Structure 1
Amino acid sequence: MRAFIRSRNMCDWEDFDQRQDYVRARLAEPEGERLSPFLLLAEPGVTAAEQRISSEQWMRQRIAAARPERERLDFQFPDRRRSGGPIRLGYLSNDFHDHATALLLIEMLEAHDRAHFETHAFSYGADDGKSMRRRLVQAFDHFTDIGPLSDVQAATAIHDGRIDILIDLKGFTRESRTSILALRPAPVQVNFLGYPGTLGPGLCDYIVTDAFCTPAASAPDFDECFACLPHSYQPRGRRCGLGAAPSRSALGLPEQGFVFCCFNQAYKFTPAVFHLWRRLLSAVPDSVLWLLAAPSAEGNLRNMALAHGVAGSRLIFAPDVSQADHLARLQQADLALDTAPYGAHTTASDALWAGVPIVTLPGATFASRVAGSLLHAVGMPELIARDEDDFFALALSLAQEPATLAHSKAKLANNRLKEPLFDVEAYTRAIETLFATMWRRFQDGLPPVAI
C-alpha cells in the first residue's frame, strides 16, 4: 500500500492504467491487504458502491476487535429518551488547530444557539499554540483533550459527558480514530465534513450532505442516512478578511499573462486532469499554472509538461503559508481549475472567497461533486462542466475572453456576500434543525431516516 500512496504523491503515473485492476482485485479478495478507503476517493473509475465495499472491508476487523469492549462497556441511554435542556453536541477530531477543517467550522461553532445546544470538543490533536486553537477553545462550551486516552477511555469520557449527538470530523483521513465510534458512546453518531464518503456499517447513523453532493439515487452507496442541508453541506463564514494581495513578482508569477491555479494536493492529480491543463497552457500563450508546492512530484510534472511541448518553467509552485497569507495571494490568480475524481473542497471555497472563479467537472461520487455544490450555493452553476471537452471550453473562454472573465469575477464578488454559500448564520440554523430532528427521532424511539 505504501507504493500505492507514494506513486500518487509523486505523480508517478507509469502504471496508472493498471491501478483500477489492482483496486478491484483487492476489493474482490475476502482476506488480505486492504487499501485505505481514503485512497480510493482519488482513483478514477472507482464507483461510490466500490467505495462503500472498501469502507466495510476496512472496518470489519476493527469493528470485530472493538466488539468485546463494546459489549463490556454496554453503553446505555435510557434516561435520555425524554430528557430536556440543550442538546449536547460532541465534535470529535484531531484538527482543532490551524487546519482547513477548523477554518471551515469556526464561525459555525461560534454561531451555535447556546440556548438549545451545548457544544463539546473531544480533541486528540496537538495544541499548535496558534490563534486558531485559542479561538476554538473559546468557541466550545467544553473542550476536552482525549489525546492521551485509549479508545476505550475516550469513549467512556464521551459517554460520561452525556453527549447526545457525536459528530465525527475525520472519517478515514489521516490520524483518525474511528474505533472510538465503533464503541458507540453516544445515542446518535454523525459523519460530517471531514470525509466525503461512507464510513461503513455501525459507525454513524447520518452523514451531513446536500442534494448535489449526494443525489437521492446515491443513497444505496452509503451506510449512513442522508441529512441534507438546503444549499451546500460545507460551512464557511464571512469574517475571514482578505489582506492586500502581494505583487505577482513577489509570488514568483509573471507580471503579465494568464494565471491558472490549482491548490489541491498532488495526489489528486491524474493523467487525464494534467492533460487538460497542458492543453490549456498550449492554447493560452504566456499563461502559467500555479500549483501548491509538492517537492516529490514537481520534477515529474515538469518533465511531463515538457514532453508535450510545454516548458516546465510554466508550472510555478507556491510554498505552504498561513491561511491568511494564502487567501491574500490567491487574489492574483485568474482562474482555478478543479481536479477529478477527488476535487477541491476547502481549496474551492478559498478560491471563491478570494474572488477567483473555479471550473469543475463533477462525477458520481461525493468527493468529485463538492466544488459543484459550492458553485450552486454561490449562484454560479454555469462554471460546472458537463464533460472534459466542456471543461476545456469553459476554461479556455474565460482565459481568452477578458470580458467573460471580468463578468464572472464581478458576479462572484457580488454573490459571495449575498448568496447562501458564506451565510454562516443561516447555515448554522439549518444544521441545528437537522441535529434537532435526529435527536427528536431518537427520543421518540424511531430509527434514523433520510432528513
Structure 2
Amino acid sequence: MILQRTLQHIATAVAGRILKNADISMASAWVEAGRLEDAEQYLLAVLSHQPVNADALHLAGLIAHLKGDQARAVTLISKATEHAPNEGLYYFNLGNAYLASGATENGIQAFQQATSLNPDRAEAWINLGFALIEMKRHQEAVSAFIHVLELAPEYDVDLAFASALVGAGTVRNEPTMVDRAIALLESKPKEGYEGYASGVILARALEHRNRLSEAIKQYQSLLGAYPEHIGIRNNLARCLVQLGQVDESRIHYRLCVNAAPDKFHAFSALLAGLNYDPDMTPDMHEAEVRNWEKQLASPNYPFNLKFTNKRDPERPLKIGYLSPDLRQHVVGHNFLPVLEHRSQDRFSVVCYHIGKKEDDMSRRIAALSDDWRHIHGASDDEVADAIRQDSIDILVDLSGHTSKTQPLVFARKPAPVQVSWLGYFDTTGLATMDWFITDPYSSPPGQKQYFSERLYRLPHTRLYYHPYPGMPEVGELPAKRNGYVTFGCLNNLAKINTQVLDLWAEILAASPTSRLLIQTLALCDKLNLERFRALCVKRGIDPARLELRPATPLEKFAQTYHEIDIALDPFPFCGGFTSFDALWMGVPVVTLEQQRLAGRQTIAMLMNLGLPELIAATKCDYLSIALELGHDLTRLQQLRSELRMLFLQSPLIDHRAFIQDQEQGYRYFWKCWCRKNSTRAH
C-alpha cells in the first residue's frame, strides 16, 4: 500500500510536464491549473482539425488519465506514440495509465521505453521500479532504483529500494542484498504509515537472515500499533515456531484463525503444530481437525461429481503430484526415486509445483516427469481446474498442512482418487482424501480412529531413504577417542519440548561424564540460543556438558554424526529423515513409542533394521536403553560398524521394491474406484 501511495504521488507531480506548441499551449496551462474540462473541450476542437497532432493526443490522454478513464487514456496516448515515437514523456504517461488500469506488464514496457528514450528522467525509473516490485521482478527493480539514487538522490525511495533488495536477495539467495536492505532501513527510521511499512520490510528481511528474535521484536512492535493486523500476527507465529517456541506460536495462530480462518494458511499451521504438543489428546486433536474441515473444507466439497476418466481397471494411469516443495528440499530430494524407478509404460506423471522457487532440483524433477506445471500463485480453483484439464486419475498430496500448501485443492476433488503421502505425517481431515499411505509399524491396528482417510499399509515402510550426494563414510566411535559418550539430536528445535529436556537431563545426571550435542537451524539465532541454553540449565544440565550449535550447510551437516555416539529422539513428534540420517551414519537412535504416526516414524525404521531393542515403551525404558547403550561401548562400536550394511540389506533403501509396492497400491486404489463407480452406473 505504501508503494502504491508513493506511485500516485510521483505520477501527479509530473503530470503537468507536457510539451507545448502553439495549438495547445492554452490547454496545457488549463491542465496545470486543474481546469480539465476546459482543456479537454479545447483539445477536442484541435483534434477535429488535426487528428494526428501528437501533443494534443498525449495531452488529451493525460486528461483522461487524471479523470480516471484509463482505457481512453491508453488509446489516446498510444496514438500519440505512433506519431511521435521518440517522445519519452509520452511513454512515461502511457505507463502511468497502464498501471492505473491494472495492466502492470504493459506499464513496465512503457516505462522501459521511456527510460530508454530519456534515461535521465528519474520519475520514469521510480515508477518502473514500483511496477517491477508489483510483478515480483525484484532484481530488475533493484537496478531501477539504483538509477534513481544516481540521478535524483533527493527522492526518498528507501522503502521501495529495500523491498526490492529483500525480494531479490531472497529469491537469488544473496544475503548481502538482504543485509543492505536491513542496514538501509535501520539507518533511516520512519514515522507514521511509512514507519509501519518500514517495520514490515525490516521484519521480513531479519526473518530471511535467521535473525528471528529481532524479527519477532519487530512484529511485536507492529502488533502494538496494529493489534488487528492478522498478517503480522501470522508472521510472528511463524517465527516463534522456527525458534521452537511452539506454545506461544499456537496462541497467535489461534487468534489468526478466530479472526480470519481462510487467510495466511494459519489454520493449517495450527493443525500441523498440534503434533508438537505433548499434552494433546486424541479427542482434542480430532476436534481441531473437524473444526478446520467444517469451516474451510466442507464448503468446497463438490456435489454430483462426474469424471470422464475411463473406468478400465488395467489401463495405464496418469498420476499427479502436488507440492510446494518440488525443489531443494527434503521432499523434493526424496521424491526423485519415484520418478527414476516408476513403470513408465503403466504410469505417467504430471508434477504440480505450487512453490515459489524453482532450482536445479526442480529442473531434475521436471526432466524426469512427463509434464511439469509450475503454478505458484494460482488459486485453489485454478489449480483444481488445471488438474481436471489434465485428466489426472490419481492425485497425490506431498504436503498436507505443512508450509505454503493448498489442501483445499483436494477439497474440490479434481481427480477420481486422491492420496496423502510423503510430505505429511497426519490426517488431512478431508472427506475427499481417499487414502493415506502408511505401513504396519507407523500405523498398527487401532490407528484408523486418527484418520479421515482409509489407511493403506505398504508391506514394510511408508518412507524410504535416499542419501544426499556426498554423505560421508561412517566415522570411528567418538567415545573411543573422547573417553566419554556424546548424546545428540539434530531435529527441529520445536520438537524439543520441556518434557523431552527433562528426560534428557535425567540421562545426563545418571551418566555424569556424558555430553549432549544439539544442532539445529533455530540456534543460528544468538538470542534464541541463549534462551534455549537457559532452559537446559534450568533443568539441571551443566552448560559445560552442553554443546549447542547452529545448523551447518547441507553438504556438511552429516559430519556432525562423527561426533555423536547415540542419537536421542524427541517426542511426541519424533525424527523423520533426521533419524534416517543418523542411522545411515552409524548412530543408533533411541525412540519413545507414541500413539500417533508423527511419533512412530523412527519406530518403522528400527523395525525394518531389526533393532526393536532401541524402541522404548515408557520414559523409564527410554532412560534405561540410553544408559545401557552408553555403558556398552562394545555394542555401540558394533552398531556403528553394522548399521549401514543393515540399511543396504533392508527395505528402507530398496527404491525399486518400494516403488513397485507403491504402484501396486495405486492400481488397487484405481480398481476400487472403478468397482465403486461401475456399481453406481448400473
The TM-score range, normalised by the shorter chain, is 0.7 to 0.9
Summarize the alignment of residues 54-69 of structure 1 with structure 2, pairs less than 5 Å apart.
54-67=288-301
The Cα shift of 1:317 comes to 3.2
* TM-score normalised over the length of structure 1: 0.86
Q: For 1:236, what is the secondary structure of its paired residue?
A: coil
Match of 1:190 among 384, 408, 419: 419
Q: Please name the residue that 1:175 is paired with.
A: 404
User: CA-to-partner distance for each residue in 1:71-118, whole Å, 9 max, x for gaps?
Assistant: 5xx763144212764211111000011111122222232111111111
User: CA-to-partner distance for each residue in 1:179-218, whole Å, 9 max, x for gaps?
Assistant: 1111110000001122211111323100001122112212
The Cα shift of 1:264 comes to 1.3
Q: Please name the residue that 2:520 is paired with.
A: 292
Q: Please name the residue that 2:506 is paired with.
A: 279
Summarize the alignment of residues 201-350 of structure 1 with structure 2, pairs less than 5 Å apart.
201-237=430-466, 240-243=469-472, 257-282=484-509, 283-294=511-522, 295=525, 297-350=528-581
Q: For 2:338, what is the secondary structure of its paired residue?
A: helix
Q: For 2:463, what is the secondary structure of its paired residue?
A: coil
Summarize the alignment of residues 114-129 of structure 1 with structure 2, pairs less than 5 Å apart.
114-129=344-359
C-alpha spacing 1:300/1:141, structure 2 compared with 1 (3 Å): same
C-alpha spacing 1:60/1:352, structure 2 compared with 1 (3 Å): same
User: CA-to-partner distance for each residue in 1:26-78, whole Å, 9 max, x for gaps?
Assistant: 9xx9x9996821111111132344323322211322224435xx45xx76314
C-alpha spacing 1:136/1:156, structure 2 compared with 1 (3 Å): same
Q: For 2:666, what is the secondary structure of its paired residue?
A: helix
Separation in structure 2 between the aligned mates of residue 246 and residue 373 of structure 1, nearest angstrom: 25
C-alpha spacing 1:338/1:78, structure 2 compared with 1 (3 Å): same
Separation in structure 1 between the aligned mates of residue 435 and residue 329 of structure 2, nearest angstrom: 24
The Cα shift of 1:128 comes to 4.4
User: CA-to-partner distance for each residue in 1:407-435, whole Å, 9 max, x for gaps?
Assistant: 22233132111011111111111111101
Separation in structure 2 between the aligned mates of residue 229 and residue 156 of structure 1, nearest angstrom: 31
Q: Please name the residue that 2:676 is paired with.
A: 445
Match of 1:113 among 343, 347, 357: 343
Q: For 1:373, what is the secondary structure of its paired residue?
A: helix
Separation in structure 2 between the aligned mates of residue 134 and residue 356 of structure 1, nearest angstrom: 33
Separation in structure 2 between the aligned mates of residue 187 and residue 177 of structure 1, nearest angstrom: 18
Separation in structure 2 between the aligned mates of residue 90 and residue 138 of structure 1, nearest angstrom: 15
Q: Is the 8 A contact 2:297 2:411 kept in 1?
A: yes
C-alpha spacing 1:286/1:261, structure 2 compared with 1 (3 Å): closer
What amino acid maps onto 2:654 in structure 1? D
Q: Does 1:423 align with 2:657?
A: no
Q: Is the 8 A contact 2:521 2:551 kept in 1?
A: yes
C-alpha spacing 1:285/1:223, structure 2 compared with 1 (3 Å): same
Q: Please name the residue that 2:10 is paired with.
A: none
Separation in structure 2 between the aligned mates of residue 81 and residue 53 of structure 1, nearest angstrom: 37
Q: Please name the residue that 1:408 is paired with.
A: 639
User: CA-to-partner distance for each residue in 1:350-408, whole Å, 9 max, x for gaps?
Assistant: 11122211110011111111110111112211111111111111111222221121122
What amino acid maps onto 1:266 in structure 2? L
Separation in structure 1 between the aligned mates of residue 386 and residue 245 of structure 2, nearest angstrom: 44
Separation in structure 2 between the aligned mates of residue 319 and residue 305 of structure 1, nearest angstrom: 16
Q: Please name the residue that 1:51 is paired with.
A: 285
Q: Please name the residue that 1:358 is paired with.
A: 589
Separation in structure 2 between the aligned mates of residue 269 and residue 445 of structure 1, nearest angstrom: 45
Separation in structure 2 between the aligned mates of residue 317 and residue 99 of structure 1, nearest angstrom: 24
Q: Is the 8 A contact 1:237 1:423 kept in 2?
A: no
Q: Does 1:435 align with 2:663?
A: no
Separation in structure 1 between the aligned mates of residue 605 and residue 657 of structure 2, nearest angstrom: 15
Separation in structure 2 between the aligned mates of residue 14 and residue 231 of structure 1, nearest angstrom: 35
* TM-score normalised over the length of structure 2: 0.58
Q: Is the 8 A contact 1:244 1:328 kept in 2?
A: no
Q: Please name the residue that 2:616 is paired with.
A: 385
Q: Is the 8 A contact 1:98 1:133 kept in 2?
A: yes
**Bigger relative contact order, structure 1 or 2 (CA pairs below 8 A, ≥6 apart):** 1
Report the structure number with the largest CA radius of gyration. Answer: 2
User: CA-to-partner distance for each residue in 1:321-367, whole Å, 9 max, x for gaps?
Assistant: 44332234333321111111011011111111222111100111111
The Cα shift of 1:246 comes to 9.6
User: CA-to-partner distance for each residue in 1:118-168, whole Å, 9 max, x for gaps?
Assistant: 1111001133423x2232222222111111322111111111111110000
Q: Which 10-residue stretch deviates more, 226-235 or 320-329?
A: 320-329
Separation in structure 2 between the aligned mates of residue 378 and residue 152 of structure 1, nearest angstrom: 44
Q: For 1:416, what is the secondary structure of its paired residue?
A: helix
- Report sequence identity in percent: 26
CA RMSD of aligned residues (A): 3.2
Q: For 1:360, what is the secondary structure of its paired residue?
A: strand
What amino acid maps onto 1:92 in structure 2? L
Structure holding more helix per residue: 2
Q: Structure 1: any 5+ residue segments left out of the alignment?
A: none
C-alpha spacing 1:84/1:368, structure 2 compared with 1 (3 Å): closer
Give the length in aligned residue pairs: 430
User: CA-to-partner distance for each residue in 1:269-292, whole Å, 9 max, x for gaps?
Assistant: 121110121222332415232321
Q: Please name the residue that 2:334 is paired with.
A: 104
Q: Structure 2: any 5+ residue segments left out of the alignment?
A: 1-232
C-alpha spacing 1:446/1:280, structure 2 compared with 1 (3 Å): farther
Q: Does 1:92 align with 2:92?
A: no
C-alpha spacing 1:309/1:151, structure 2 compared with 1 (3 Å): closer
Q: For 1:279, what is the secondary structure of its paired residue?
A: helix
